[in-house]
Structures are given as structure tokens and as C-alpha cells.
């Protein structure tokens, strides 16, 4: 089982969209995929059509004493082989509780280690803040995927996120490969082109040499949770770019696994 954290401390850069698109892509290639919504705003949970009031069962239960088993929180989606776990708005209160309860930073890793073998890939949709939930995600992750909006202001956020991933890598024995995915790219603008170039200059081959374009069809992420047949009506530039991005990430996974062997 491989765990990917989809993270960026900046909001609105395409984290949730990337989680859904890569998850769908992996499921289409035959893998069993679990998407976990770690964001108290619950965008992904809502995309799956789950009401947030009253709160569904979900990630919060992993932090209970004793914690619930992850398998009991897994829901099946309309996309074959793609399952998910809901977020709850109450996750926002976890950050306050954490001060009194040491060890909460590993709750997700522990839940996932007991879940090994039930899914091939687990994708963690992180909130845009470096708090307890993101720390849980990074502690559990085998790889960090950083969607980064191709615009100049996003470069600071990217540098911060890369430093955080490097810190996590230093504090544990396992490597933490980083894959930067330029998103929301508008190739007609100079600012977009410059940002893409700088990303590649500053972060080298950790950055995908292509980009996910702005595509109005992706303003509605519900498309990504429709059964496979429905996608045919929506070939979409961004979706085909996400397929290429997945090829790149999987090639990099193969390389990291080879190095580790």
C-alpha cells in the first residue's frame, strides 16, 4: 500500500481536484484506491454528495479513544475501485485538543498501518494549514504531491511546503519524495509562463515538466466522482493532463522503490 499526501499550505491551488483526478486515474488502471478527506471544510466529502450536517462518520473517529478502525469508516463511491473516508467540520477542533494529548500526530499512520493490504493506494487530501492534520498526513505519507498554482505568488507557498517535506524526511528514516504539479495554468498569460519557468528552475526535476491547464469543465469537481462511462462525455484537457501527470508520478514511484530495494 502506498500513501500519497496531496498538500500545499496555500488554499485554492487544486489539492482536492488533484486528489480526485489522480484517484480516479489509479482506479481506472485497476488499483484499489482510498481517498481520505482531511480538510475540516470537507470539500471532497461534499463532492461525493455526503451532507456535512449532521456530521457523517469519518476521520474524527480515528482520533477517538480508543480509535475506530479505518475499514469501518470506508464508503464506496460510484467509481469502481475508488473508496473514500469523509471529513467532519469538527476536525477543526482537533488542533486545540492536540496540546493536551501527545501522540495524536501519529493517529493516521497507525490507522493506516492496521489497514495495510486493503487498498493499493491511499490519497490524503490535506487542509491548507500546517496543523495537526497535515502533520498526520506527512507522518503517514510515502510521497508528497504538491499542486501549485502556476502564478508568481504561489512560489513562496511552494518553497515553504518543500521545506516542510524535507524536515519530515530528516526526522524519520524513510525518504519523502516530492512531486510538484503545476496547476491552473493559463498558457496565454506571461505571469503563468514565468511562474512555471521559475518553479522548474528553483525545484528542478521534482517539478513536472508539463502543467494542468485551466479547464472550465473542472470547475465542477462532481464530474470526477461519476462512474467511468460518464467521463466519455467529458474528455477535457485538464483530465488528460492529469493522466499524463499520473504517468510521471508512477514512473517516479518506480524509481524510488528501486532505489529503496
Ligand X SMILES: Nc1ncnc2c1ncn2[C@@H]1O[C@H](COP(=O)(O)OP(=O)(O)OP(=O)(O)O)[C@@H](O)[C@H]1O
Q: Return the CA Rg of the chain.
A: 17
Among 4, 7, 17, 108, binds ligand X (CB under 6 A): 17
CB count within 10 Å of CB 50 equals: 17
Among 16, 18, 148, 164, binds Mg ion (CB under 5 A): 16
Residue 248: strand, helix, or coil = helix
Q: Cα–Cα distance between 84 and 35 in angstroms, integer?
A: 5
User: Residue 57 Cβ, how far from ligand X at the closest point, in Å?
Assistant: 21
User: Residue 16 Cβ, how far from ligand X at the closest point, in Å?
Assistant: 3
Among 27, 135, 165, 238, binds ligand X (CB under 6 A): 238
Closer residue to ligand X (CB): 43 or 110: 43
Choose the stretch contacting Mg ion; rule: CB under 5 A; options: 42-50, 167-175, 186-194, 212-220: 42-50
Q: Which residues contact 118 (CB under 8 A, 6 or more apart)?
A: 1, 32, 34, 71
Among 10, 15, 119, 206, binds Mg ion (CB under 5 A): 15
C-alpha cell at 146: 504538491
CB count within 10 Å of CB 93 equals: 12
238, 244 Cβ separation under 8 angstroms: no
User: Residue 66 Cβ, how far from ligand X at the closest point, in Å?
Assistant: 30
Q: Cα–Cα distance between 180 and 158 in angstroms, integer?
A: 8
User: Residue 3 Cβ, how far from Mg ion at the closest point, in Å?
Assistant: 18
- Decide the pairing of beta strands 121-125 and 178-183: unpaired
User: Which of Mg ion, ligand X, none does residue 178 bind (CB under 5 to 8 Å by kind)?
Assistant: none
User: If we measure between CA atoms, which residue out of 149, 148, 127 comes closest to residue 138?
Assistant: 127
Closer residue to ligand X (CB): 72 or 183: 183
89 lies in the site for Mg ion, by CB under 5 A = no
Phi, psi values for residue 192, rounded to 5°: -65, -45
51 lies in the site for ligand X, by CB under 6 A = no
Closer residue to ligand X (CB): 93 or 240: 240
Among 2, 32, 43, 95, binds ligand X (CB under 6 A): 43
User: If we measure between CA atoms, which residue out of 9, 28, 29, 8 comes closest to residue 18?
Assistant: 8
Closer residue to ligand X (CB): 152 or 175: 152
User: Residues 186 to 215: which contact ligand X by CB under 6 A?
Assistant: 212, 214-215
Place of cell 500513501: 3
Q: What residues line the site for Mg ion (CB under 5 A)?
A: 15-16, 43
Q: What residues line the site for ligand X (CB under 6 A)?
A: 11-17, 39, 43, 128, 183-184, 212, 214-215, 218-219, 221, 238
Amino acid at each position: 500500500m502506498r500513501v500519497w499526501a496531496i498538500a500545499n499550505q496555500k488554499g485554492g491551488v487544486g489539492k482536492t481536484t488533484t486528489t480526485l483526478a489522480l484517484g480516479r486515474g489509479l482506479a481506472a488502471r485497476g488499483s484499489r484506491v482510498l481517498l481520505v478527506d482531511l480538510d475540516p471544510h470537507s470539500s471532497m466529502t461534499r463532492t461525493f454528495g455526503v451532507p456535512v450536517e449532521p456530521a457523517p462518520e469519518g476521520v474524527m473517529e480515528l482520533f477517538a479513544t480508543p480509535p475506530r478502525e479505518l475499514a469501518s469508516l470506508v464508503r464506496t463511491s460510484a467509481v469502481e475501485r475508488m473508496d473514500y473516508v469523509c471529513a467532519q467540520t469538527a476536525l477543526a477542533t482537533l488542533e486545540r485538543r492536540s496540546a493536551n494529548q501527545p501522540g495524536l500526530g501519529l493517529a493516521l499512520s497507525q490507522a493506516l498501518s492496521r489497514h495495510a493490504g486493503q487498498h493499493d493506494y491511499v490519497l490524503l487530501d490535506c487542509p491548507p494549514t500546517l496543523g495537526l492534520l497535515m502533520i498526520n498526513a506527512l507522518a503517514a505519507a510515502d510521497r508528497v504531491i504538491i499542486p501549485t498554482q502556476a502564478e508568481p505568488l504561489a512560489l513562496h507557498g511552494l518553497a515553504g511546503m518543500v521545506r516542510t517535506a524535507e524536515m519530515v524526511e530528516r526526522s524519520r528514516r524513510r525518504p519523502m519524495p516530492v512531486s510538484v504539479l503545476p496547476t491552473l495554468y493559463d498558457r496565454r498569460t506571461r505571469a503563468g509562463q514565468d511562474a512555471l519557468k521559475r518553479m522548474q528552475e528553483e525545484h528542478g526535476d521534482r517539478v513536472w515538466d508539463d502543467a494542468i491547464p485551466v479547464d472550465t469543465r473542472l470547475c465542477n469537481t462532481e464530474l470526477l466522482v461519476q462512474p467511468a462511462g460518464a467521463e466519455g462525455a467529458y474528455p477535457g484537457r485538464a483530465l488528460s493532463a492529469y493522466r499524463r501527470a499520473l504517468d510521471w508520478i508512477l514512473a517516479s514511484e518506480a524509481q524510488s522503490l528501486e532505489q529503496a530495494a
